[in-house]
Structure 1
Amino acid sequence: MMPGVNPKQMKAAMKKMGMKMDEIEDVTKVVVYTPNGNYVFENAQVVGITMQGQTSYQLTGDVHFEEAEVEIPETDVELVASQTSVSPDVAREALVECKGDIAEAILKLTSV
């Protein structure tokens, strides 16, 4: 609800406008998955707001971002290893540090 507004009055006003608000009970955590990583909401509160037949959700909580782990194809490891004359393990480590960027990994390994 909005700060400084009586919840009963707010609910009555919303009902007059054809809006319905329902809290989803006992939510502890919500994760929003994206290609770059995940937004994790701890101590989450989720409220569904229905208006004109369409439901929207309001999400609050303590949020932090967890970066996605980079998937390194074996062909990239082989390429970096062959271009820099290092072992595949060293090449893979450089690719992980460079978030999969082949050119950056090669430059990193050749400038050492």
Structure 2
Amino acid sequence: MFGGGGMNPRKMKQMMEQMGIDVTELDAEEVVIRTGDEELVFSNAQVTRMDAQGQETYQVVGEPEVHEASETAGAVESGPEASEADDGGEAAIPQDDVELVATRAGVSKDDARDALEAEDGDLAAAIARLE
């Protein structure tokens, strides 16, 4: 936005404050961007929110995992009802959550689902349980 290539970060911050621009670092655990063709999943992204005159802009920095839309479209469109049917009526655990826990903890989807069920769907607790 500004060509501050060699500018002192402190000076840049002062200039932005003078122009009414507020910058905040967010402690994001995951960022997902879905397009018609693919899904970009940023697991360890740096996220910055910039508020300039009431207009919020988000900047995401990191390397995404790229998934084809067909891999996730069924889970997104089917909703919790389909998960209940697949589980034989047990508590609904979204397929996206199962895949996320399996990927983050490096375990099978069955182990990830078991951990999520044991932790009542709590993603962080399920991942911690498996690590």
Give the TM interval when normalised to the shorter protein.
Answer: 0.5 to 0.7
Which residue number corresponds to residue 30 of structure 1? 31
State how far apart, in whole Å, the 2-side matches of 1:52 and 1:4 are.
26
Choose between structure 1 and 2 for higher RCO, CA contacts under 8 A separated by at least 6 residues: 1
Residue 35 of structure 1 aligns to a residue whose secondary structure is coil
Structure with higher Rg: it is 1
Q: Percent identity?
A: 38
Which residue number corresponds to residue 11 of structure 1? 13
State how far apart, in whole Å, the 2-side matches of 1:18 and 1:69 are.
43
Q: Give structure 2 stretches of 5+ with no counterpart.
A: 74-131
Q: Tell me how many residue pairs correspond in the alignment.
A: 70
TM-score (norm: length of structure 2): 0.46
Higher helix share: 2
Runs of 4+ in 1 over 4 A off after TM superposition: none
RMSD: 2.3
1:8-87 alignment to 2 at 5 Å? 8-25=10-27, 27-69=28-70
State how far apart, in whole Å, the 2-side matches of 1:58 and 1:31 are.
13
Higher strand share: 1
